[in-house]
Structure 1
Amino acid sequence: MNDKIVLLEKIHPSAVENLQAQGFTNIVQVPRALAGAELIDALSDADAVGIRSNTQLTADVLHALPRLRTIGCFCIGTNQVDLNTAATLGIPVFNAPYSNTRSVAELVIAQAILLLRRIPEKNARSHRGVWDKSATGAFETRGKLLGIIGYGNIGAQVGILAESVGMRVCYYDPESKLPLGNARPMPLDELLRQADVVTLHVPGGASTTNLLSAERIALMRPSAVLINASRGGVVDIDALNAALRGNRLGGAALDVYPVEPRSEKEEFVSPLRGLENVILTPHIGGSTEEAQENIGREVSDKLARYLSAGTTRSAVNFPEVAHQQKEVVSRILHVHRNEPGVIARMNALFAESGLNIVAQHLQTRGPIGYAVTDVDAPIEQSLMKKLCGESAAIRCHLV
């Protein structure tokens, strides 16, 4: 297939292998994040792009890329993409909401054990030649209460692993969620007051910015520890720093930050640097070989299915059409404004051309409509010009 796919930020080789196995050969790999004019230039003739968390696909960037048809985020989050602009331009965005769940959950449990045992402090002192065998302030995980804020895929997995090492589990989620194992729901403020370990697994955005504010951090027990492996803006870092330096919190582990370096060459800056009861990791929750391999396969498969068949199942910003193997001569993908009469006018154009529709799938999402039409005959360019020029059309093409 001639579609050009550009993969940025050292995406796992499994993505390339999977795309090549499905017939895509025009693949360009860039081992770092790009920005500004350099990013636009690299994607100017791309049909699809794969990114991780550092490449920002803003409205300005997307408007400068009229050929771009789809975006794959090889990670869980999609905050780095202007999803609304992508949708209005007819660009579905895919991610990997499940592939690194286990890796993140294991890191959280490991950090909880290390913090409860005060291992970061003991380790730092040993490196300085101090032999500190004191058991003061060091606790087993067994019987301790783990409070999970955000009981989605990762939060629920953390709860299951926590129970396997003898912890009790409670959770808070603004939506009603079926508890797994022996986990029980709890109001947020009550969770903060009772939990020995608090771990955050919520999405980014305005509703969760500084969710752990100074007031809420003050509710936590002085011996409790806080873990954030979700989004950097969820915790008020200055408030956390003050609580830790004032001995009003037992410790913390952070894997995400409000501002993160764009590359290894930039210095990581945080007020928490130097604190011996804090674990700072460089956004590596999903950075295991297993997770990255799974993510590579999952997202590349979604890109391949869209480019070859128009499948949008599990797109985060777009009407979802399930996968249908292309078994006809022509398949037309038509993205349009969701308004009355679009399908009738489109089908009238097929009828005028003497074409019989074999199958048609339509889904809408807010202001966007998406129709996949199968015709068992070749499509003339004159008809495609009429379909793409229809008053409500955003974009259309053949696959």
Structure 2
Amino acid sequence: MKKTSFPKDEMKVVLLEGIHQDAIDYFKRAGYNNLEIHSTALEGDALIEALQDAHIVGIRSRTQLTEEVLSKAPRLMSIGCFCIGTNQVNLEAAKHRAIPVFNAPYSNTRSVAELVIAEMIMLKRGIAYKNYVCHTGGWVKSAAGSYEVRGKTLGIVGYGHIGTQVGIMAESMGMNVIFYDIESKLVLGNAHQVETLDDLLAQADIVTLHVPEDDSTKNMMNRSRIEKMKQGSVLINAARGTIVDLDALADNIKNEHLLGAAIDVFPVEPKSNKEEFQSPLRELQNVILTPHIGGSTLEAQQNIGIEVASKLVLYSDNGSTVSAVNFPEVTLPKQPGSHRVLHIHENTPGILRAVNELVTNLDLNINAQYLQTSGDIGYVVLDVSGQEENAIKLQNGMKDIKGTLKCRILY
């Protein structure tokens, strides 16, 4: 008798960019032992070759899964971004190939927030410059240009999960917290939402950015906005590299309009630790530069590894797509004694009717049926009981339904 589920030991899992060992262990415990592990990102032909027979792929922020790459990965069933962002994946191309994409939007929140808090203190104390001078044999023992953060105003741009944590931690140190967001947000603690970004820039002694990368945030902190920042204030960016005009930032630090800055993300970043890092901020001694490590703590990477690996395994084993960023979300319970069939299709009229007609004609009983749509994609999950060969016939018939993108039997 033909098996109705794809054997786990035949499923290839490709993990790139040094995914945490806990994620690897999670896959192995779940029965996925055909693992291909790379410590760095891949690109070009090397990436295409690695993915041509892969069923699951896990990446971080450097690997670029473009439409071209995805078009040459015919077996790919799911993608895991072991980080917060997903802009390194063409989400539309993945969706139309019936590939859900999962990420870890919260697991490194604390790590990023702690880095921001540390940087705002160091910037207001002038530590970057004093550290540089000590390393060159100098000695600048002076209180000039050195300030406590207590009583200062922190301006948070983007009041999401990281922004709110930064705000709570800042308040505990006696800071006044204001924030700007395009949506009205529930205020935590004594924070205050301002109406415009310009209002925030005029008031804040410290500005920290926590917004996603999209058309509305690209070059958001341009020359004009940087010049609207309060005299002697500092700027922190641990969000996305395209948000800040670094040349304008450098100019405003050189002319002493700003006291300094801390930048963790850049428009163009080295593809490996061996490639030279270039930035107009390199020569400035009162700027803290870090190599995109806001979420790079052992605790965060461990949490991210487990979170994303568990989502990928759950989808592969169960069909659940909870928290997929580009896909209809379905939470599926177990149905003992059933065959589970997953059907991903274009969201057009008549699909469900055609599925139900097939079930009736094959003398199968529907124990549970789940349908969720998202934009132009629909996701039907059928739990049916009856003869196994009829379940296989159901799968084959569903594959022939017009508009079908992918159909498989889990068990």
Q: Say which SS state the counterpart of residue 234 (structure 1) adopts.
A: coil
- CA distance in 2 between partners of 1:327 and 1:13 (Å): 33
Q: Structure 2: state its 5+ residue gaps.
A: 1-7
2:404 corresponds in structure 1 to 393
1:211 to 2:211 alignment: no
1:279 to 2:288 alignment: yes
Q: C-alpha deviations, 1:10-47, integer Å up to 9, x for none?
A: 00011011122222222221111011111111011111
1:108 corresponds in structure 2 to 116
Matches within 5 A, 1:170-185: 170-185=178-193
1:302 corresponds in structure 2 to 311
Q: Which amino acid aligns with 2:92?
A: N
Q: C-alpha deviations, 1:313-369, integer Å up to 9, x for none?
A: 100000000132353441111000101110110111111111111101110000000
1:322 to 2:302 alignment: no
1:244 to 2:232 alignment: no
- CA distance in 1 between partners of 2:221 and 2:337 (Å): 54
Work out whether residues 313 and 323 of structure 1, in 8 Å CA contact, stay in contact via their aligned partners in 2. no
- CA distance in 2 between partners of 1:24 and 1:344 (Å): 36
* Aligned with 2:98 (options 84, 90, 94): 90
Q: Say which SS state the counterpart of residue 372 (structure 1) adopts.
A: strand
* Aligned with 1:336 (options 345, 357, 381): 345
Matches within 5 A, 1:17-56: 17-56=25-64
* Aligned with 1:8 (options 9, 12, 16): 16
- CA distance in 1 between partners of 2:27 and 2:169 (Å): 34
- CA distance in 1 between partners of 2:332 and 2:247 (Å): 47
Work out whether residues 57 and 79 of structure 2, in 8 Å CA contact, stay in contact via their aligned partners in 1. yes
- CA distance in 2 between partners of 1:12 and 1:354 (Å): 47
Q: C-alpha deviations, 1:139-159, integer Å up to 9, x for none?
A: 001011000000000000110
Q: Normalized against structure 2, the TM-score is what? A: 0.95
1:376 to 2:363 alignment: no
Q: Which amino acid aligns with 2:94?
A: A
Q: Which amino acid aligns with 2:279?
A: S
2:84 corresponds in structure 1 to 76
- CA distance in 1 between partners of 2:174 and 2:393 (Å): 68
Q: Say which SS state the counterpart of residue 258 (structure 2) adopts.
A: coil
Please state how far the C-alpha of 1:207 moved relative to its aligned partner: 1.0
Work out whether residues 52 and 75 of structure 1, in 8 Å CA contact, stay in contact via their aligned partners in 2. yes
- CA distance in 2 between partners of 1:121 and 1:326 (Å): 63
* Aligned with 1:195 (options 194, 200, 204): 204
Please state how far the C-alpha of 1:380 moved relative to its aligned partner: 4.7
- CA distance in 2 between partners of 1:369 and 1:123 (Å): 57
1:230 to 2:239 alignment: yes
- CA distance in 1 between partners of 2:335 and 2:295 (Å): 34
Q: Which amino acid aligns with 1:372?
A: V
- CA distance in 1 between partners of 2:132 and 2:33 (Å): 50
Q: Say which SS state the counterpart of residue 97 (structure 1) adopts.
A: coil
- CA distance in 2 between partners of 1:268 and 1:297 (Å): 31
- CA distance in 2 between partners of 1:18 and 1:184 (Å): 42
Work out whether residues 338 and 367 of structure 2, in 8 Å CA contact, stay in contact via their aligned partners in 1. no
1:261 to 2:274 alignment: no
- Percent identical pairs in the alignment equals 55
1:288 corresponds in structure 2 to 297
- CA distance in 2 between partners of 1:68 and 1:244 (Å): 47
Aligned residues: CA RMSD = 1.0
* Aligned with 1:142 (options 147, 150, 159): 150
2:165 corresponds in structure 1 to 157
Q: Normalized against structure 1, the TM-score is what? A: 0.98
Please state how far the C-alpha of 1:131 moved relative to its aligned partner: 1.3
Q: Which amino acid aligns with 1:319?
A: P
- CA distance in 1 between partners of 2:394 and 2:212 (Å): 44
- CA distance in 1 between partners of 2:333 and 2:101 (Å): 19
How has the CA–CA distance of structure 1 residues 11 and 104 changed in structure 2, closer, same or farther, with 3 Å as cutoff?
same
Q: Say which SS state the counterpart of residue 282 (structure 1) adopts.
A: coil
Q: Say which SS state the counterpart of residue 198 (structure 2) adopts.
A: helix
Q: Structure 1: state its 5+ residue gaps.
A: none
Q: Between Structure 1 and Structure 2, how many residues are aligned?
A: 399
Work out whether residues 305 and 323 of structure 1, in 8 Å CA contact, stay in contact via their aligned partners in 2. no
- CA distance in 2 between partners of 1:366 and 1:206 (Å): 20
The range that moved more, 344-353 or 291-300, is: 344-353
Q: Say which SS state the counterpart of residue 266 (structure 1) adopts.
A: coil
Q: Which amino acid aligns with 2:407?
A: C
- CA distance in 2 between partners of 1:4 and 1:397 (Å): 17
Please state how far the C-alpha of 1:278 moved relative to its aligned partner: 0.3
2:5 corresponds in structure 1 to none
2:4 corresponds in structure 1 to none
* Aligned with 1:358 (options 367, 384, 388): 367
Q: Which amino acid aligns with 1:108?
A: V
